[in-house]
Structure 1
């Protein structure tokens, strides 16, 4: 706001075009959907050219219904794509645990572990490896947090290819075709007013 540039103006125009094109999109909650929780976590690496901070994104589904999502820039730049993805896994795990507790309070317990889909195999290996290396020292708290919930069976990490990752929508801009594909994975519905 203090020193706007043409790039900022272009970003605002892009946001306005997006909002205008999605006015009649909404979430659909099916009564026949299974009460099984699953989560998708993703991050870009150093995606912001001004400060090189990464953007994380996640989305959580109850059956086929999208019930929670988030996109935000990380507080500090990540030194690798694995670190960016691992920090995203930490945020997703926190949200996943909150929703598991909320669902249990509502009488919908999750008796088995919740699948958490991630497209970075290195981040998944860190979650399963209880030996700390020099490269993970700076993310040690996230390592302990995620590893604890993986070991307890609360979270089950599952690899998903980047092409199939719905949380990718929350981490970066996409071409229109890819954007529509990712949007369809979120099970959004579009309805025109009468």
Structure 2
């Protein structure tokens, strides 16, 4: 249920329980989303809020913060089609030719590229606008993260990469993130690291995706803060970041009174990283990143998480660490709960 309130508030979320019933309220500035397990309690809450504030009940949620919500009998799709169209028009790219992938294969942009832009303003506006589009478009995450790294001194090659992203957006306007009814409450997380992939600093890139059943809850692409001496170390740092994300969702589900029958499963394609999390013999080789080692090992030993090996060719998180050939890219984003918005 969507409600508009004329007063201004900070971002705020609240959980209220009444017996066996639950009500959730999400508040952003003057927009509220209210949902729960009992219609009568929802109506009573709205009436009470209306007596204190000037409010308007907009009925079933269909639009929130630039995101469109489309429902069918067993799922809903979040999309930003109108926002994407607005961006294309704003930057004069409505007529560009669509393309199948957001970045060239194995593209590695550098901060030392020649031909700096005389005015970086338009570049910063384009990249900043794309960042919000990744709210429902995980397929854009790595590409946008990559071009974000050159905001201080963008060059013509960086701008060309951004325009290519917009060409990809033009061809995928109807894509949205689908959430389906799923009886499974199993958390699965995929992770990957592109070892020493940055040509300027030789820092690695962490990529991860966290699912609840078949629904994608969280994803990310981020350059690691330090240089890793091996691919196993880079993967292990990515494993530590993903474990933190998984534990947060585990805490949130428990707060909402959802109890998992099995511990979260984290899928990694690096056998050495998995072995380090279980075998203390490796301690002497990992002193320079032993905080991550002990953090993961502690959660593995107490059964809070389970680690398993996954072949690299089916590693979903690969799409968050590097630019890929179009066939592989399309195959992977199909695994990210992305579907065409029927509207």
Q: Are the aligned partners of 1:54 and 1:78 in contact in 2 as well (CA < 8 Å)?
A: yes
Summarize deviations over 1:100-129 as a string: whole Å, max 9, x none.
Answer: 010111121123221100000010010011
**Cα distance between partner residues in 2 of 1:61 and 1:14:** 29
Shift, 1:133, TM fit: 3.8
Between stretches 31-40 and 53-62, larger displacement belongs to 31-40
DSSP-derived class of the 1:28 partner: strand
Residue in 1 aligned with 2:286? 136
Residue in 1 aligned with 2:328? 178
Between stretches 177-186 and 18-27, larger displacement belongs to 18-27
Shift, 1:139, TM fit: 0.9
**Cα distance between partner residues in 1 of 2:153 and 2:245:** 35
Shift, 1:25, TM fit: 1.3
Shift, 1:21, TM fit: 3.0
**Cα distance between partner residues in 1 of 2:157 and 2:203:** 17
Between stretches 25-34 and 155-164, larger displacement belongs to 25-34
Q: Which protein has the larger Cα radius of gyration, Structure 1 or Structure 2?
A: 2
Residue in 2 aligned with 1:29? 179
- Structure 2 unmatched ranges of 5 or more: 1-150
Q: Does residue 1:117 correspond to 2:263, yes or no?
A: no
Shift, 1:177, TM fit: 0.5
Q: Does residue 1:48 correspond to 2:198, yes or no?
A: yes
Higher RCO, 1 or 2 (CA under 8 Å, sep at least 6)?
Answer: 1
Shift, 1:6, TM fit: 3.3
Summarize deviations over 1:143-176 as a string: whole Å, max 9, x none.
Answer: 0000001001111101001111101110100111
Taking structure 1 as the reference length, the TM-score comes to 0.93
DSSP-derived class of the 1:53 partner: coil
Aligned counterpart in structure 2 of residue 101 of structure 1, from 251, 274, 283? 251
Q: Does residue 1:17 correspond to 2:167, yes or no?
A: yes
Residue in 2 aligned with 1:188? 338
Taking structure 2 as the reference length, the TM-score comes to 0.54
- Structure 1 unmatched ranges of 5 or more: none
Shift, 1:192, TM fit: 5.3
Residue in 2 aligned with 1:169? 319
Give the CA RMSD over aligned residues.
Answer: 1.5
**Cα distance between partner residues in 2 of 1:129 and 1:30:** 39
Between stretches 4-13 and 103-112, larger displacement belongs to 4-13
Q: Does residue 1:148 correspond to 2:298, yes or no?
A: yes
Between stretches 34-43 and 142-151, larger displacement belongs to 34-43
Q: How many residues align?
A: 193
Residue in 1 aligned with 2:207? 57
**Cα distance between partner residues in 2 of 1:76 and 1:11:** 26
**Cα distance between partner residues in 2 of 1:167 and 1:93:** 14
Shift, 1:2, TM fit: 4.5
Q: Are the aligned partners of 2:187 and 2:263 in contact in 1 as well (CA < 8 Å)?
A: no
Shift, 1:11, TM fit: 2.3
Between stretches 56-65 and 6-15, larger displacement belongs to 6-15
